[in-house]
Chain A
Amino acid sequence: MSSLFKYDKDREAASAAKVRALEALLIKKGVLGSDSVDAVLRHFETVAGPFNGARIVARAWVDAEYKARLLEDTPKAIAELQFPGMTGAEGEHMKAVANSATVHNLIICTLCLCYPWPVLGLPPYWYKDPVFRSRGVREPCAVLREFGVTIPEGKEVKVWDSSAQIRWFVIPERPAHSEHLNEEQLAALVTPEAMMGVALVPSPPPCLRHPNVYSIRRICRDADVRATRFATA
């Protein structure tokens, strides 16, 4: 299946020309404005994205009462943070589930690609991979092992298949040695994969465990990494 991700140049050029022709025709015929598609893409760079989920997770880590409210009524608890667009497209009904010492959660959409846009943005390609969607419900632990996550024996694994209106996301476990980090620094550790349940949040490296050296520069660098992922270049 992985060979499906590789195409010759010509195939891409054909699709690129076709989509450009389609957009041009739809603009000419009044179905789209020339600024419509860009407005969509800007939304996923500025309003909806994993930067929201990371901040929600960090808040849950530093505030146990907030975490309880988040699990009890996810939209209401998210609304407390006053991020824009949190009940928007593909986030009309979101629910958080929490990893713990006894439970590991994994989100999946075996039918298509349901995903909580406001808090996680758009899904990475591997999430669309039919192989993940097939195996994730049949052998989640084996898949997680391939992702580098070993589930200890006896830990319960919960797989959440988004097949109706609810869009799930995972509150990962707070890593060890992160006691000194503030909320913003914690948010910088949280990846989209951790909020989908296929990665754990690693402890900060020893040199960064003290708040004075865990600088804003590092957070900016992580934000760059996320922005790069949205880009294709």
Chain B
Amino acid sequence: MRLQHYLGGLENLGPVNFFEKKVFMAEWEKRIFGIHTVMMAESVHLDKSLPKYPLSEVPTTFKDTWTWASLRIGAENMQPFEYFKYRYYEKWLMGISQFFIDRGYVTAKELATLTEHYRAHPDSPLPEQPNPALKEQVVRYLHHGDSGLRAPADLVRFAVGDTVYVTDPEAADHTRLPAFLRNKKGTVTEVYPGAFEYFVSTGPDGLDGLQHVYCVSFLASDIWGPDKSEPNTVIYADLFEAYLKPAHSM
């Protein structure tokens, strides 16, 4: 098991830090959020996504696929105690910097040297090199998104009202299955129209190619046990078909 997949349901954590209502804890966090979002907006997979973006016409040297899955693969592969040690955008900064080094866009030495420069001169400016066509693509992406919706691939396996069980696949590099639902019994409450293609194949985890997606409801008592859950509580999760099996298979 991977702890990052099992966040839902961990106990003994103390109160929620509800008083931290800010979106960003420090100014620098805005910049890494922005860099990540620009990368998503110029990711090479977007010429095949919905809508089909004219990516070949966008002037950029970025020639990789970068999606939420890229960020999550990094986060889910962290040593779990490291994962909890760092603040949200600190993990983004580590993962994204390493990506650019690994893919040869920048060298570790260049980054370290320039970091020292900005350490010594925090107000020294960024290079002035606007890219209006890229900016247009960023705005276009933010306005139109990146949907995995495709035409249905084949027959829908489950119907509203069906009792289903959640599978228990091998813990892979990346999953969209909240682990607290593994092996639990639920009821299909909605079958989303169309089929969806996730950003990447998750290998033994099971996401690959077109899949139907279902909203499945779970009684809290079925997940945590009748004496260990709050009454009148239902948890809904959107689950890809690969994560579900029919009740009669149990």
Residue interface mask B174-213, A partner, CB < 8 A = 1: 0111101000000000001000100000000000000001
- Say yes or no: B20 contacts A87, CB within 8 Å: no
- Say yes or no: B11 contacts A229, CB within 8 Å: no
Contact of B14 among A1, A16, A124 (CB under 8 A): A1
How many residues of B are in contact with the other chain, CB < 8 A? Answer: 107
Contact of A32 among B9, B11, B35, B142 (CB under 8 A): B35
Chain B contacts of A131 at CB under 8 A? Answer: 13-17
- Say yes or no: A138 contacts B229, CB within 8 Å: yes
- With A19-B31, A40-B33, A165-B196 known as contacts, the answer to whether A111 contacts B178 (CB < 8 A) is yes
In the assembly, what is the distance between CA of A40 and CA of B146, in Å? 16
- Say yes or no: A39 contacts B178, CB within 8 Å: no
- Say yes or no: B10 contacts A41, CB within 8 Å: no
- Say yes or no: A156 contacts B16, CB within 8 Å: no
Contact of B134 among A4, A33, A124 (CB under 8 A): A33
- Say yes or no: A166 contacts B192, CB within 8 Å: yes
Contact of A126 among B19, B33, B141 (CB under 8 A): B19
Which of B16, B22, B143, B232 is the most central at the interface, judged by chain A CB atoms within 10 Å of its CB?
Answer: B16
- Say yes or no: A30 contacts B135, CB within 8 Å: no
Contact of A17 among B37, B84, B122, B146 (CB under 8 A): B122
- With A1-B13, A35-B131, A123-B23 known as contacts, the answer to whether A163 contacts B35 (CB < 8 A) is no
- Say yes or no: B38 contacts A37, CB within 8 Å: yes
Q: Which residues of B contact A (CB under 8 A)?
A: 4-5, 7-11, 13-35, 37-40, 42, 50, 59-62, 68, 72, 75, 84-88, 90, 93, 96-97, 100, 105-106, 110-111, 114-119, 122, 126-132, 134-135, 138-139, 141-149, 175-178, 180, 192, 196, 213, 215, 220, 223-224, 229-230, 232-240
Since A134-B10, A141-B230, A232-B27 are in contact, a sample of 6 more A-B pairs with Cβ atoms closer than 8 Å, ordered by chain A residue number, is A13-B119, A19-B28, A22-B96, A40-B142, A124-B23, A159-B235
- With A31-B61, A111-B5 known as contacts, the answer to whether A92 contacts B147 (CB < 8 A) is yes
- Say yes or no: B239 contacts A15, CB within 8 Å: no
- Say yes or no: B177 contacts A7, CB within 8 Å: no
- Say yes or no: B18 contacts A198, CB within 8 Å: yes
- With A126-B17, A156-B232, A159-B233 known as contacts, the answer to whether A16 contacts B84 (CB < 8 A) is no
B215 to A: closest C-beta gap in Å: 7
Q: Output the nearest chain B residue to A124 by Cβ-Cβ distance.
A: B21
Interface: A89 (CB within 8 A) = yes
In the assembly, what is the distance between CA of A71 and CA of B28, in Å? 38
Which of A26, A130, A164, A193 is the most central at the interface, judged by chain B CB atoms within 10 Å of its CB?
Answer: A164
- Say yes or no: B17 contacts A129, CB within 8 Å: yes
